[in-house]
């Protein structure tokens, strides 16, 4: 797919402003209005702010960070991310291969369940292979002997607002809970993964968890070369106590003489991306309902799964009530109930906020609705249409 580039010349850069924009910014905004909606708009300037926090954590704590591709795999911005992150971590063979081919640096390959063919393929490019269970480790050991191997541990503690995402929920299949089996397997391991958080912005709970893990598994930790504490830590959130977070990581790493890894996904892309849509119809059924040319079901599925509602980046808030809904036939395809400064009209632009994490990786072809294009606003202000999706993409996804 050929990329369409919308750029301004250096001659257009002026010190003057017009209605709050520099002339350059105004020109770009006009160009963006020519882009057909819907599209995901990734802003590299906002992305870089998160990445700089991750770099600060790396420098202050010694912990390395690998991008969780299960959250965000949009490789058109990997050139920027590569400058701040140590590599990628995956949940499947395909994600691991994407990280190897498009990101480079370290490749951590994890899966809840590897097939034999998966293991034979992934061992060719993975720097670390992490198994979910002792039985998987034993089954595939003959194929990976000599590789840098890790095992996921279920520490029986977790932080999650949703049972659906709680890795230590009752009957969880995620990680090894049997301490005896873990100790026996440790002879062939170089690392352990503790992924036990989901949207955790409470540094105190994380520090308590580190203390418990150190207490319960200290003898085992001393045998390891590296430890991963997974993702789900909201440490790029505004006013997060980074100094305490970094101190806890640094002290843990020094105590057990291990290299600590973090696996940020949402923390990398939070508040960097919008889903830009257009109102295509207005109906009234007790309340005003604006139907946009995108879909919660198809384009922001996590909100439907977790029964949450996204925020709006635009229009501005006010007193006019409107329900904003998607265009599929699913009755519950609704972004939310909002109050806006002005009533919406057919043709009005609606921007859904924070549409980076767990969106593009979960987009689907429900109802045959075209997927949003992917657009990037680069650090230099250039707006680039990376890819649009057509009927042939829909057809190829089927058989």
Domain boundary (225, 244, 269) is at: 269
Same domain, 155 and 23: no
Euclidean distance between CA atoms 7 and 237, whole angstroms: 31
Compute the average pLDDT of residues 100-125.
97
Same domain, 33 and 81: no
> What is the pLDDT of the chain when averaged over all its residues?
92
Residue ranges making up the domain that contains 321: 4-43+272-396
Same domain, 178 and 206: yes
For the stretch 49-81, pLDDT in tens is 999 999 999 999 999 999 999 999 999 999 999
Domain boundary (269, 294, 327) is at: 269
Query: Count of domains in the chain?
Result: 2
> Residue 131 is encoded by which pair of tokens?
């198994």
Q: How confident is the model at residue 316 (pLDDT cuts 50, 70, 90)?
A: very high
Domain CATH number, residue 50: 3.20.20.10
For the stretch 179-199, pLDDT in tens is 999 999 999 999 999 999 999
Q: How confident is the model at residue 207 (pLDDT cuts 50, 70, 90)?
A: very high
pLDDT score, position 30:
64
Domain CATH number, residue 284: 2.40.37.10
Euclidean distance between CA atoms 59 and 260, whole angstroms: 12
10 Å CB burial of residue 56 (0-12, 13-18, 19+) is middle
Euclidean distance between CA atoms 333 and 326, whole angstroms: 5
Same domain, 298 and 248: no
Same domain, 66 and 205: yes
Distant-in-sequence, close-in-space partners of 245: CB < 8 Å, separation ≥ 6: 57, 61, 203, 206, 233, 235
| Residue 6 confidence (pLDDT) above 50 | no
Domain boundary (269, 289, 304) is at: 269
Same domain, 305 and 242: no
Euclidean distance between CA atoms 130 and 310, whole angstroms: 34
Q: How confident is the model at residue 18 (pLDDT cuts 50, 70, 90)?
A: very low
Share of the chain above pLDDT 90, in %: 88
Same domain, 99 and 244: yes
pLDDT score, position 388:
96
Distant-in-sequence, close-in-space partners of 32: CB < 8 Å, separation ≥ 6: 6, 41, 375, 383
Same domain, 244 and 282: no
10 Å CB burial of residue 34 (0-12, 13-18, 19+) is exposed
Q: Interhelix angle for 44-61 vs 242-256, to 10°?
A: 40
Same domain, 168 and 246: yes
For the stretch 320-329, pLDDT in tens is 999 999 999 9
Nearest to 74 by CA among 296, 389, 387: 387
Same domain, 50 and 32: no
Same domain, 38 and 49: no
Same domain, 163 and 50: yes
């Amino acid at each position: 797919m050929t990329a369409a580039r919308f750029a301004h010349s250096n001659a257009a850069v002026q010190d003057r402003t017009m209605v709050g924009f520099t002339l350059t910014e105004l020109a770009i905004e006009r160009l963006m209005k020519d882009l057909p909606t819907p599209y995901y708009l990734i802003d590299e300037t906002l992305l870089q702010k998160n990445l700089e926090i991750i770099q600060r954590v790396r420098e202050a704590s010694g912990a390395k960070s690998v991008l969780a591709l299960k959250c965000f795999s949009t490789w058109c911005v990997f050139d920027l991310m590569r400058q701040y992150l140590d590599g990628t971590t995956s949940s499947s063979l395909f994600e691991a291969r994407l990280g190897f081919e498009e990101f480079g640096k370290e490749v951590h390959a994890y899966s809840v369940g590897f097939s034999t063919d998966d293991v034979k393929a992934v061992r060719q490019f993975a720097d670390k292979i992490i198994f979910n269970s002792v039985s998987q480790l034993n089954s595939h050991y003959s194929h990976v002997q000599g590789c840098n191997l890790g095992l996921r541990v279920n520490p029986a503690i977790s932080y999650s607002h949703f049972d659906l995402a709680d890795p230590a929920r009752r009957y969880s299949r995620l990680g090894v809970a049997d301490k005896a089996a873990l100790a026996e397997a440790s002879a062939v391991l170089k690392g352990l993964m503790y992924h036990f958080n989901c949207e955790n912005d409470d540094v105190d709970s994380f520090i308590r968890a580190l203390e418990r893990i150190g207490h319960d598994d200290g003898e085992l930790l001393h045998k390891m070369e590296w430890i991963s504490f997974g993702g789900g830590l909201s440490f790029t959130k505004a006013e997060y106590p980074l100094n305490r977070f970094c101190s806890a990581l640094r002290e843990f790493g020094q105590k057990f003489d291990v290299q600590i890894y973090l696996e940020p996904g949402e923390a990398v892309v939070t508040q960097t991306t919008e889903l830009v849509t257009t109102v295509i119809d207005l109906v009234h059924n007790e309340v005003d309902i604006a139907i946009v040319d995108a879909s919660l079901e198809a384009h922001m599925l996590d909100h439907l799964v977790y029964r949450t509602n996204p925020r709006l980046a635009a229009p501005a808030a006010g007193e006019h009530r409107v329900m904003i809904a998607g265009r599929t036939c699913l009755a519950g395809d609704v972004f939310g109930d909002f109050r806006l400064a002005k009533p919406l009209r057919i043709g009005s632009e609606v921007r859904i906020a924070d549409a980076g994490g767990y969106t593009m990786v979960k987009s689907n072809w429900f109802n045959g609705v075209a997927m949003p294009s992917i657009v990037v606003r680069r650090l230099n202000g250039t707006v680039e249409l990376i890819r649009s999706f057509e009927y042939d993409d829909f057809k190829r996804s089927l058989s």
